[in-house]
């Protein structure tokens, strides 16, 4: 039984150009998940799937494998994570009994402890996938909108008078990793609506890196962490 990490990293990025190879506290961003996967001791192989030559060269330099170049069809804006990872599982001829963790390339706040936690939960139960999730800081049932006239209206009027502490907790997928059975990946079983469960992250473990200001913020955190380790 083999456990493999696969990092999907394409060259195109609309909002933050070339973010997978952009320097983040002294090294390319994609180096972080590669090093983390290697440090965890969980994986027999750490593989990067990409169509980009520069990403491939950097990945290899930091200890990952790039055994194949991803097709253009699976590198466009419409290719899904399931499609990309299923393709990799088939190319690598992984067995259905194996385990595969998809780790997203821009995850500098991810920890070894969370990978270990997910691995233990997946291998000790009957789940197809285990992934991290974070609690919404405010109940989504209390969300409201503003119309063209400026008037405010609740999306769910029934919750207008309900206290926030009386509303059930809800969670979202921060997009860090998905640990699953190869059989589930190959057959493209749904992650978020299938036989899955999650581990809960703390707020400081999550940041969406979609805009330049997000990048600058996480760069500061990463630099502080690096200095603490060096001291």
Tell whether the model's pLDDT for residue 230 goes beyond 90: no
* 192-210: average pLDDT: 92
With cut-offs at 50, 70 and 90, classify the pLDDT of residue 5: very high
Q: What is the mean pLDDT of the chain?
A: 93
Domain for residue 144, yes or no?
no
Nearest to 129, CA basis, from 72, 167, 186: 186
* 138-157: average pLDDT: 91
CA angle 206, 209, 25 (to 5 degrees): 90
**Cα-based torsion angle of the residue sequence 126, 128, 134, 135 in order, rounded to the nearest 10 degrees:** -60
Q: What percent of the chain has pLDDT over 70?
A: 97
Domain for residue 161, yes or no?
no
Helix (H) or strand (E) holding 144: strand 144-146
C-alpha span between 163 and 130 (Å, rounded): 31
Domain for residue 139, yes or no?
no
Domain for residue 199, yes or no?
yes
Tell whether the model's pLDDT for residue 98 goes beyond 80: yes
C-alpha span between 28 and 121 (Å, rounded): 31
83: its two tokens: 């499609």
For 54, residues 6+ apart whose C-beta sits below 8 A from its C-beta are: 11, 21
102: its two tokens: 């998809």
Which residue segment(s) compose the domain that 96 sits in? 3-134+170-230
- pLDDT of 222 reads 83
- pLDDT of 14 reads 72
88: its two tokens: 């990799």
Domain for residue 63, yes or no?
yes
Domain count, the chain: 1
Q: Which residues share a beta bridge with 181?
A: 99
What percent of the residues of the chain are helix, what percent strand, and what percent coil, each to the nearest 5? 35, 20, 45
Domain for residue 79, yes or no?
yes
Residues written for the chain:
231
With cut-offs at 50, 70 and 90, classify the pLDDT of residue 226: low
Tell whether the model's pLDDT for residue 149 goes beyond 80: yes
* 113-122: average pLDDT: 98
pTM for this prediction: 0.92
**Chain centroid offset of residue 209 CA:** 11
- pLDDT of 2 reads 97
Domain for residue 158, yes or no?
no
Alpha helices in 159-209 (DSSP H): 182-186
33: its two tokens: 């998940």
C-alpha span between 4 and 91 (Å, rounded): 13
Domain for residue 82, yes or no?
yes
Assign 3-class secondary structure to 78-116: CCCHHHHHHHHHHHCCCCCCCEEEEECCCCCCCCHHHHH
pLDDT tens figures, 24-73: 988 999 999 999 999 999 999 999 999 999 999 999 999 999 999 999 99
Q: Give me the CATH number covering residue 219.
A: 3.90.550.10
With cut-offs at 50, 70 and 90, classify the pLDDT of residue 185: very high
């Amino acid at each position: 039984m083999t456990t493999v990490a696969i990092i999907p990293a394409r060259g195109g990025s609309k909002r933050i150009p070339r973010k997978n190879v952009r320097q983040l506290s002294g090294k390319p961003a994609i180096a972080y998940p590669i090093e983390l996967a290697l440090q965890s001791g969980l994986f027999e192989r750490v593989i990067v799937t990409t169509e980009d030559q520069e990403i491939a060269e950097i990945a290899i330099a930091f200890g990952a494998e790039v055994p194949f170049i991803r097709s253009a069809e699976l590198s466009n804006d419409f290719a899904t994570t399931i499609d990309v990872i299923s393709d990799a599982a088939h190319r690598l001829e992984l067995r259905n009994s194996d385990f595969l963790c998809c780790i997203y390339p821009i995850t500098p706040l991810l920890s070894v402890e969370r990978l270990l936690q997910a691995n233990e939960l997946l291998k000790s139960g009957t789940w197809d996938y285990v992934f991290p999730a974070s609690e919404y800081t405010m109940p989504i049932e209390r969300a409201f909108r503003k119309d063209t006239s400026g008037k405010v209206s609740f999306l769910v009027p029934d919750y207008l008078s309900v206290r926030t502490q009386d509303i059930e907790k809800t969670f979202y997928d921060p997009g860090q990793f998905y640990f699953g059975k190869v059989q589930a990946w190959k057959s493209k079983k749904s992650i978020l609506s299938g036989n899955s469960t999650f581990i809960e992250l703390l707020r400081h473990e999550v940041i969406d890196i979609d805009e330049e200001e997000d990048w600058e913020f996480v760069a500061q955190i990463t630099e502080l962490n690096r200095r603490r380790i060096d001291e």
